[in-house]
Amino acid sequence: MKSLLLCAVFAFVHFGIVFTLGYNTQSTPGTTTETHSKVCKQTVSEQYGLIHSPNFPEKYPRYSRCQYLVEKYSPDACDVKLTIHTFEVTRMAFTNCSEDFLEIQDGTKRFRICGDLPRGTKKFLSFPPDSDKLEFNFRSTFHQKNGFEIEVKQLPFSCRKRVTTTPATTRTSVPCTRTVTGRQGFLRFPDGEDGASDRCTYTIRRSEPRACLLQMDFTTFEVPQSSECNQDHLLLPDGQKLCGVLGGNRKYIEFPSSTDELVITSVGPSNSFNIQVTQLPGPCDLSAASNFTG
């Protein structure tokens, strides 16, 4: 009987230690945190807040389930800016973030993020027209990485006047244009500088005579999939159309000998991407660099 009692006490203490170390329960200003075994929930109800993976900055536990709610702090705050402090979530090749991922809500759409994102990466989101909440969800399988910490900022005075349409009227799309002249730059859509837009043109000008290759690093890329990318897509100078989930990939484009600029066009209102572009000097042999790499 005595040995059974000692085993029970040891099991209780051992379980308590595992449970206590499982999650980091500290909260940050503007953020409310609740944690339970395998489950956690954080709520941002002020203008500024932080959300993070369970156990951050340590590795997140296996089979985690976390919910993050952003509640509108003011009636005139319709947009939200996310800024990545840290983001390391396991990305398996050819799975399109189907295992470990952070699911983000933007209006009525949802998309998943995984892989490694550089510090300072920004993403702009909007509250749904009929709701004062945004919901994010984190899921992990048997993998473990360092996870993420993301700053949440609700943007005041960001509500656009709603346009009422009739059969005789349609929404006017505002095209945008961007130019990259330096050795490095970013192609972002949306970038928070324009209103609703179905099309954005990016012109990359050669930064020096030796520059002959453009390296494109797809930090994030979420474009609705369609047959041969004939609907929403990113149009490259050679006529190739990109769509689907391509975050974490790299692609090279060659500057033509007859001109000192490349033109890349985003087509579609639902596109979402952040691409770093870097101009590289020769040699300009694309035979081994024309395909995507992970």
CA–CA separation, 289 and 275 (whole Å): 17
CA dist list (Å): 273 to 44, 158, 191, 246, 293: 25, 21, 9, 9, 17
CA triplet 112, 142, 293: central angle to 5 degrees? 50
Please give the average per-residue pLDDT across 41-46, as a whole number: 95
CA triplet 274, 280, 281: central angle to 5 degrees? 170
What is the band of 9 on the pLDDT scale with cuts at 50, 70, 90? Answer: very low
CA–CA separation, 47 and 40 (whole Å): 22
Nearest to 245 by CA among 88, 83, 97: 97
Q: What is the structure's pLDDT at 194?
A: 52
Q: Quick: pLDDT tens for 112-124.
A: 899 898 888 888 8
CA–CA separation, 210 and 281 (whole Å): 5
- What tokens does 59 get? 């590795």
Q: Lowest mean pLDDT: which of 91-95, 125-129, 131-135, 278-282?
A: 91-95
Question: Would the pLDDT of 133 be above 90?
Answer: yes
pTM for the predicted model, two decimal places:
0.49
CA dist list (Å): 216 to 124, 133, 176, 248: 21, 34, 20, 10
Q: Quick: pLDDT tens for 192-208.
A: 665 557 889 999 999 98
Q: What is the structure's pLDDT at 15?
A: 36
